[in-house]
Structure 1
Amino acid sequence: MTGRTVKGLHCDYMIGRELGRGGEGQVFEVHHNDAVVVKLYNEELSTEKAEKLKYMVEIGNDDIRAYAAWPSDIVTDLKGNTIGFVMRKLVNSVPLHMLFSPMDRKKLFPARGYNFLVHVARNLAAAFYTLHNAGLVIGDVNEGNILIDKNGMLTFIDCDSFQVYVKEEKKYYYCEVGVPRYTPPELLEMTSFENVVRTANTDVFSMAVLIFQLLFLGRHPFAGRNTSSDDIDEETAIKKHYFAYSQNNEAPKLLPPADSLEIKHLSPLLSQLFHQSFEQRSRRPITTEWIKALDQFQKEMTRCANAKMHFYPKHSETCPWCSFREKRGIVYFIDDSYLKSNPLLENIDSFVNGFQVEEITLKPHSGNYLTTGLSAATIPQQFYLYKNYTRYAKLAILLLTTGIAFITPWLIIAGVAAYFVANALLPWKNKLNRQLQKRETDYTTLKSRYAALVKTYNAPPELNVYNQLTQKLENQIKAFRELPVEFKERKKQLEEVQYNEQLEAFLKSCSLRDHNIASFGSARKQILFNNGIRNAADISRLPELRIQGIGPKNMQVLLNWQRQVCADFTYKPNDTLFSKQLHTIFLEINGNKQNLENEIRSNYQAIQQMKNHIYTKQAALEKQIAAMAAQVHQASLDSEAFRRFIQ
């Protein structure tokens, strides 16, 4: 699929890496455009669905796109058939249901407390308000098709299932899918969603369920403890208005699940809105009422004095999250308020701050050896004699050669040759040349030694050793500083392991045969059993298996069910075991700390010794260079003076 090009109304798109897939199709990156993605359908689209997508592209505006990954273009194959659409790419966003789990919240939204869930619920109501004002009805509302970013801003995905009304043609493009646990009773009672007109009122029921799940940490308003002999599943409870947290029913058949937040902790206005949304059909509270109630509730939030992540409404007598922790051992907001760091790993800087590494910066020597106040040494008297002897000999040879040539002209050539040969063999001239050569050699040798000294001064080999030692020390100090971070990270991993082990055990206790799962009767469950899928924990292995009769849509149903089951899980940390395991980690890290302290001290001492050695050697080299500079300059002057002397 990668590299395939599809045509859009505005431009062509080259398909890139697959980002995800669902029951309807796959989502792909687009080459050379990081701002958008392309959704391609698995099956051929109907004419009506293709027309719906095209109309959605036409009506898209900034208000809609603020809360929805809205189609911005349709894509077609070479025959012109619509095969998908283009939408904006959502980055750093996760499904809304990730807020329901304490561990997911800690990993994805660290330091976010209950007030953040209220904030998200408020934004959810604002999203519904904006989309309803645009004439849209979401229809298929569920916790998996809403994404949330770190700031609590929400975006709807799978927007092609929205109900869209074409006012000019008085025509509906219906939403014909839905998740039962988010579907209002009046629609659940229908045999099919085909050609069913949904309204903002039906949407508000679904929104109220999501808001309830946010405020009650994943709990569903129609799932609870059955006090009757009747078989009451979620769909039945929704149809019969069995709101598990109802305060209006004197003989309720459903009660809130054990260890769930009591509705008394909500504001009276919010409680009233939930009752109106779940216990009546004709006139549910509109989105603006929810926004107002949630804004007021957010203002009532106060921070617990005992735990920085515990926020609760002021009217509550005590912090409910602390009560869960103290009375039931349940943690809904995981932080480290009850786990104190070992003081031996605190104030790390007080040790390493005493080991400051000095960078050695050496001023380079230019290599200039010229020294003021020097002049060429006096040339010894003997060389003056050699020079005079040579001059007189040359003159005598010249006179002799000239006389021979005058007496016998044909011997003139032989005479000239004899002159040059005699001149070259003069002993005094050879002595002068040898003296010049010696002076030049002395100068060259001194200059070479001087250059080597300057090179050693400018780049002392010990400096590399010093830099290696300082780099090693910096790495040791960095490792030392990171010890508390390592301890915190390993503590987090330990907590995750304990959490996941409890969750795994809980999911294994949830047998498929003991639960009602939409579209999964006894025959399909038997297929799962035959392939080793027997409980909620086994569902995680489904993507690795290929089970005949269990396609992508069925797999999504099972994953959704597993997610619903997870909402009933409560985390009860084993503090005794945790503290014991944490102490073992601390002993290991503290051992590393002591080793690093010894290594840092030893390395720092070696660095100081090397630094002193470098400075001492540099001072000695400076003196040698200064002394040798005078020698080189003197040799240069003497050599040049003698050269001029013998010319």
Structure 2
Amino acid sequence: MSQPPHYNLFDSRGNHVPLGKKVGSGGEGDVYEIAPHRMDVLAKIYHRPLTEERQEKLRLMVSGCNDDLKEFAAWPLDLLHAGNNGPVCGFVMPRIIDCEPIHKVYGPSHRKESFPNADWKFLVRTAKNLAAAFYIIHKYGYVVGDVNEGNILVTKKACVRLIDCDSFQVQTHDKIFHCEVGVAQFTPPELQKSKDFKMLRTQNHDNFGLAILIFLLLFMGRHPFSGVYKGTDDMPIERAIAEHRFAFGRSAALKAMSPPPNSVGLSVVPGEVSSLFEQAFAESGIQSWGRPSANDWWNVLDALEKRLKKCPTESMHTYYTGIATCPWCTLENSSGILLFLSSDTISRIDVAAEWQKVLVIKPPGPIPEINPQKYRCLPAPLSPDIARALKFRKVLQVAAALLLIISAGLMVGPLWTGTYSTKDLAGLVPAVIAGFLLMYPGRDTAEKKRRKKEFEDARYSWRLWEKKWKAEAGDAEFTAQLGALTALKGRYETIEQEYKNALVTLQHTSRERQEKKFLENCFIDTCTSSKLGENRKATLRSFGIETAADIAPYKVMSIPGFDTAMTTELMNWRKQQENRFVFDEGKGISTSDVQGLIHTFQPKIRPVERELLIGIEKLHAIQQKIFKNRVKFQPVIEKSARDLAQAHASLSAFRLTGKIF
């Protein structure tokens, strides 16, 4: 039986269906527009005649179509027959536009081209919508079966659409229409060794592939079973899956596995999300309903989306609020890989305008000088008794002084002439008497001690207040903050100038930049080498090699299972792509080149920006605090100075000498 001509197509109601231009082609059939003016649907026409079983399967899918399925999938809407009432040769399905394959969302290089405005929140939402799509498929009793990155599309709004739905497993109460295809990188362990996919698939099998895709989305294209294997033999992804070697899991070390370089771990997601990954990839997952369902995933991803925050350094970075610092900044800085495209400029502020705010903040100036020595105080008056006692003490002091002079005269003569003898010790008697006179406890002694205590207390209080006055009302803090801001402004301007210089350098290296840009668009997926199957391509992508630009001998050789021959093969393919490059002299600096510079300089300038903005606010706050403290403390400080001056004057009535301030 030969395939009927495409112009002889009829729908289930016997209406003629004319085809328009071909818009796609696959292994099983071609996809066409339906003429005229049917922009909402497409027609898939198979290359070969369908078996009765395949025709019956399509009839069941069309009869089971509903609004839920149409929202998430290119579901068969109607059958197409070869001739009126002839055999089924195709079907009508919804037209899905403005979509890209899901791997262009989670792969950083693809994402920068296809989804330049996507951040991690976009990836989380895509994962959530993917779970919703699987939930709907499972809700109506269908099984995807062939879960893989090629039959899932994503819109610019993170909506998910499933295609190739005619390969899904369809089951009635007495018959199963199998999904007869599969991709090893998304096939659960219990099916890995199967040579024939014509078997009963379960939703639990789908849940394994769903968990793989969600992991790829949340972890920047890293396959959960592609890591660094500590053994000496080869560890391809399908073997790692079969042996439950989850490279990011709690038991990874026991399985001789560890995550690949330049990747993040499960700590970037909440515990409930990481627990679902552990459950999905654990050995217990092979049991019936052992893996998280699509609904389980939707619930935790919906909660995660609500618990995201923006990075203070890079606005395009969003991350889980449960971790202290942005993991994407850390990963970008350590790996040099641009995970998300930044905004159009390296800076968010106009530094000249911000500096004007600094200039209008009036410096408080030197602190007003307050000194106890400037206060002239009279001693507190003495009582008559104390005054008489003090006069008597002064008489005693004069007498004691005369006795000391006499004693000195009696002792110096013999010492001078060298005739000193024991009888000359009598010369010490006047000195002893003088000592008794000076030690005589007159009635003024207590008053003197009291005034001395008042003076010492006043001096101690003054020193404390003087220190507080200089610290909190002086301009030292303001001057220091102004100096720090000036240094920050200088750092900002230096980085800004370095960025401008780098832009000039870009203009001088346009050929190299254009070639790099060209190679970044030569994706590994397009390599047709017989040595590079889909499994090895997935491994390369998991280790961050997505394009020809990523290929370097040291990178390839560091991947387990990639030897010298494979490295040479990849380098030859890169060389082939380089030979295809044609330099365009009239082409300016590309947006992605500028974005690369922005990525380099933003982490440098954004912290300076933030410090500058906070520092300006702090400078104003310091100024206000100083003015407030001067008003608040000056009366107290002046009183303390006067108290010390008065205590000093009162104590001076006893004619004490020495440094007292």
Question: What TM bracket, shorter-length normalisation?
Answer: 0.5 to 0.7
Q: Which residue matches 2:315?
A: 308
After alignment, is 107-116 or 202-211 more displaced? 107-116
Q: Which residue matches 1:175?
A: 179
1:513 Cα deviation from its structure 2 partner: 7.4
| Residues 215, 535 of structure 1: alpha-carbon distance in 2 compared, 3 angstrom cutoff | farther
1:161 Cα deviation from its structure 2 partner: 0.3
Distance in 1 between the 2:160 and 2:140 partners? 17
8 A contact 1:504–1:537 mirrored in 2:
no
8 A contact 1:70–1:159 mirrored in 2:
yes
Q: How does 1:61-72 map to 2 (within 5 A)?
A: 61-72=66-77
8 A contact 2:151–2:162 mirrored in 1:
yes
| Residues 534, 331 of structure 1: alpha-carbon distance in 2 compared, 3 angstrom cutoff | closer
8 A contact 1:321–1:332 mirrored in 2:
yes
Distance in 2 between the 1:60 and 1:284 partners? 27
Secondary structure of the equivalent of 1:28?
strand
CA RMSD of aligned residues (A): 3.8
Read off the aligned partner of 1:184 and give its amino acid letter. Answer: P
* Match status 1:133 vs 2:136: no
Distance in 1 between the 2:204 and 2:194 partners? 16
8 A contact 1:265–1:316 mirrored in 2:
yes
8 A contact 1:7–1:76 mirrored in 2:
yes
8 A contact 1:141–1:206 mirrored in 2:
yes
Q: How does 1:215-614 map to 2 (within 5 A)?
A: 215-280=218-283, 281-282=286-287, 283-336=290-343, 339=346, 497=514, 500=517, 503=520, 517=534, 575=597
Secondary structure of the equivalent of 1:13?
coil
8 A contact 1:324–1:331 mirrored in 2:
no
Match of 2:197 among 193, 198, 214: 193
Match of 1:76 among 71, 75, 81: 81
* Match status 1:99 vs 2:102: no
* Match status 1:15 vs 2:37: no
Distance in 1 between the 2:54 and 2:27 partners? 16
8 A contact 1:331–1:573 mirrored in 2:
no
Read off the aligned partner of 1:165 and give its amino acid letter. Answer: Q
1:248 Cα deviation from its structure 2 partner: 2.3
1:325 Cα deviation from its structure 2 partner: 2.6
1:112 Cα deviation from its structure 2 partner: 2.2
Q: Which residue matches 1:383?
A: none
8 A contact 1:3–1:16 mirrored in 2:
no
8 A contact 2:109–2:520 mirrored in 1:
no
8 A contact 2:108–2:221 mirrored in 1:
no
Q: Which residue matches 2:41?
A: 36
Q: Which residue matches 1:152?
A: 158
Distance in 2 between the 1:256 and 1:153 partners? 29
1:503 Cα deviation from its structure 2 partner: 3.9
After alignment, is 273-282 or 242-251 more displaced? 242-251
How big is each residue's C-alpha offset from its partner over 1:353-384, in whole Å with a ceiling of 9 and x where there is no partner? xxxxxxxxxxxxxxxxxxxxxxxxxxxxxxxx
Read off the aligned partner of 1:148 and give its amino acid letter. Answer: V
How big is each residue's C-alpha offset from its partner over 1:29-63, in whole Å with a ceiling of 9 and x where there is no partner? 01121111000111121111011111111111111
1:343 Cα deviation from its structure 2 partner: 8.8
| Residues 249, 577 of structure 1: alpha-carbon distance in 2 compared, 3 angstrom cutoff | closer
Distance in 2 between the 1:498 and 1:217 partners? 25
Q: Which residue matches 2:91?
A: 85
1:113 Cα deviation from its structure 2 partner: 0.7
1:227 Cα deviation from its structure 2 partner: 1.3
Q: Greater RCO between the two (CA within 8 Å, min separation 6)?
A: 2
Distance in 1 between the 2:155 and 2:203 partners? 25
After alignment, is 493-502 or 292-301 more displaced? 493-502
TM-score w.r.t. length of structure 1: 0.55
Distance in 2 between the 1:316 and 1:577 partners? 23
1:501 Cα deviation from its structure 2 partner: 5.2
Read off the aligned partner of 1:99 and give its amino acid letter. Answer: V
8 A contact 1:53–1:74 mirrored in 2:
yes
Q: How does 1:196-207 map to 2 (within 5 A)?
A: 196-207=199-210
Secondary structure of the equivalent of 1:23?
coil
8 A contact 1:103–1:334 mirrored in 2:
no
Distance in 1 between the 2:535 and 2:247 partners? 21
Distance in 2 between the 1:22 and 1:318 partners? 45
1:511 Cα deviation from its structure 2 partner: 10
Secondary structure of the equivalent of 2:32?
strand
Read off the aligned partner of 2:326 and give its amino acid letter. Answer: C
1:533 Cα deviation from its structure 2 partner: 9.3
Match of 1:213 among 216, 229, 232: 216
Match of 2:117 among 107, 111, 115: 111
| Residues 533, 519 of structure 1: alpha-carbon distance in 2 compared, 3 angstrom cutoff | closer
| Residues 496, 162 of structure 1: alpha-carbon distance in 2 compared, 3 angstrom cutoff | farther
How big is each residue's C-alpha offset from its partner over 1:543-584, in whole Å with a ceiling of 9 and x where there is no partner? xxxxxxxxxxxxxxxxxxxxxxxxxxxx999759999xxxxx
8 A contact 2:346–2:598 mirrored in 1:
no
| Residues 507, 199 of structure 1: alpha-carbon distance in 2 compared, 3 angstrom cutoff | closer
Distance in 2 between the 1:260 and 1:277 partners? 20
Read off the aligned partner of 1:101 and give its amino acid letter. Answer: G
**Aligned-residue identity in percent:** 35
| Residues 306, 496 of structure 1: alpha-carbon distance in 2 compared, 3 angstrom cutoff | farther
Distance in 2 between the 1:308 and 1:284 partners? 35
1:3 Cα deviation from its structure 2 partner: 7.8
* Match status 1:60 vs 2:65: yes
Secondary structure of the equivalent of 2:39?
strand
| Residues 240, 40 of structure 1: alpha-carbon distance in 2 compared, 3 angstrom cutoff | same
1:105 Cα deviation from its structure 2 partner: 2.6
1:5 Cα deviation from its structure 2 partner: 4.1
Distance in 1 between the 2:157 and 2:78 partners? 28
| Residues 156, 234 of structure 1: alpha-carbon distance in 2 compared, 3 angstrom cutoff | same
| Residues 501, 247 of structure 1: alpha-carbon distance in 2 compared, 3 angstrom cutoff | farther
1:20 Cα deviation from its structure 2 partner: 0.7
How big is each residue's C-alpha offset from its partner over 1:85-139, in whole Å with a ceiling of 9 and x where there is no partner? 1101111122111102334333433332101100110111111111101000001
| Residues 201, 296 of structure 1: alpha-carbon distance in 2 compared, 3 angstrom cutoff | same
8 A contact 2:269–2:320 mirrored in 1:
yes
8 A contact 1:499–1:573 mirrored in 2:
no
Distance in 1 between the 2:213 and 2:572 partners? 26
Distance in 2 between the 1:505 and 1:77 partners? 40
TM-score w.r.t. length of structure 2: 0.54
Secondary structure of the equivalent of 2:200?
coil
Q: Which residue matches 1:622?
A: none
| Residues 183, 577 of structure 1: alpha-carbon distance in 2 compared, 3 angstrom cutoff | closer
Distance in 2 between the 1:183 and 1:46 partners? 26
8 A contact 1:97–1:218 mirrored in 2:
yes
Distance in 1 between the 2:158 and 2:190 partners? 31
Distance in 2 between the 1:2 and 1:511 partners? 32
1:66 Cα deviation from its structure 2 partner: 1.4
1:538 Cα deviation from its structure 2 partner: 8.5
Read off the aligned partner of 1:302 and give its amino acid letter. Answer: K
1:341 Cα deviation from its structure 2 partner: 9.9
